[in-house]
Amino acid sequence: MRAGVAATLHEVRIRPRPGPHCPSGQVRTRSTCRNPQFPLAAGPPVALASAPMQTTATPPGLREISAVRGGPGRRFGAFTVLADDRRVRIGHDLDDDEVSEALIPTMSRDLLATGVLHTVDEFHRAVTALVTCRDGSWDECWSAYYQSSISALSRGDCPFSPVHDRAVAEMSGDSAVEIGCCFGFLSLRLAREGVRTVAVDLDPSVLGLLRSCAPADGPLPSPVCLDARTTPLAAGTADTVYLVHVLEHLGDREGWDMVREALRLARRRVVIAVPFEPVAVRQYGHVRTFDIPTLAALADRIVSLCRSWSPGVRTRVDEHHGGWLVVDK
């Protein structure tokens, strides 16, 4: 699962809030990345999420998902639940700082695996309900989630903590692009380590949260919304390009297109990380599985592709809280 809430908050029915730069609530289109040190090649404009996000009404045909502090209901692990065919109300007694990325595995165990939530969409909306179930505005709730998640990741309380540690250790050079950044926690970590970072995702909603709600007490990555299989970023844009827990969400053809693009963008290194699962976890939006032989085959395919223009390419494949494929050009 991509840094917590699987695929996208686009499926959680959130949209840009109208504001001075986005009066209609639509995502504006810009032709340049925020960081001028990352050039754009000629191509289509890059859409940036330039406004904060907020929820909209539950669409027809979907169960309403809400969260409250305390409340009666049947106990499911850390939560109480009242549910029928029209709505699900989730009760909890969590402290504010417990609502973070570290809570995602608990939600998956207690609410998804037990059948309380029926679909990935309901799971995404349940996360949003829990994040915003506190005193404060929409922005304040998500800002608190970012702060709590960054703290939990740094303490090692999240399943992704060792993945991020390894990813940072693989950084080569002083500039990076993270493809499929989701909420951008890895990109934030890289930026705070002094790496000039571009955070790329197809979903403007999560990038809007990254821009408006991430802590501003240190360097920030530059969020760019685009299809990472065919980016307008120039070749050799960054020293290191990351694909961390992304390929499991894509079929073989789409995933290979993204790997090819990562190779084009990277001057020095491409870092690929995937989970090892016996079966694809559909609740997280995963569509295929990986193991060491699968990654080794992908490494061979990369070497064959690069042979004509980068004959010295080297690859490493190993296991560390999932699988890793590192390509040095």
Q: Which CATH superfamily is domain 157-328 in?
A: Vaccinia Virus protein VP39 (3.40.50.150)
Q: What is the pLDDT of residue 47?
A: 37
- The set of long-range contacts for 154-157, using a CB threshold of 8 Å and a minimum separation of 24, is 157/100, 157/102
For residue 31, pLDDT beyond 70:
no
What are the two backbone dihedrals, phi and then psi, of residue 85, each rounded to the nearest 5 degrees?
Answer: -80, 0
Selection from 109, 77, 114, 111 nearest residue 93 by Cα: 77
| Displacement of CA 76 from its chain's centroid (Å) | 27
Please spell the DSSP secondary structure of 269-296, one letter per residue: EEEEEE---SS--GGGT------HHHHH
* Cβ neighbours, 10 Å, residue 256: 17
Average pLDDT taken over every residue of the chain:
84
DSSP 5: S
User: How many Å apart are CA 41 and CA 30, to the nearest integer?
Assistant: 14
Parse the chain into domains and list their residue ranges.
157-328
Distance of CA 171 to the CA centre of its chain: 18
Confidence class for position 227, pLDDT limits 50, 70, 90: confident
Cα 43 to Cα 232: distance, rounded to the nearest angstrom: 5
The reported pTM is: 0.81
Question: For tokens 């925020």, what's the residue?
Answer: 34
pLDDT at 59: 63
The pLDDT, as a whole number, for residue 71 is 81
Torsion angle in degrees (nearest 10) through CA of 210, 213, 216, 221: 0
Q: Return the bridge partners of 314, or none.
A: 328
Those residues whose C-beta lies under 8 Å from the C-beta of residue 64, and which sit 6 or more positions away, are 58, 86, 87, 88
- pLDDT at 74 (0 to 100): 95
Pairing of strands 238-244, 266-274: parallel
Question: Residue 327: which H helix or E strand, with range?
Answer: strand 323-328
**In contact, 172 and 198? CB cutoff 8 Å:** no
pLDDT at position 42 is 34
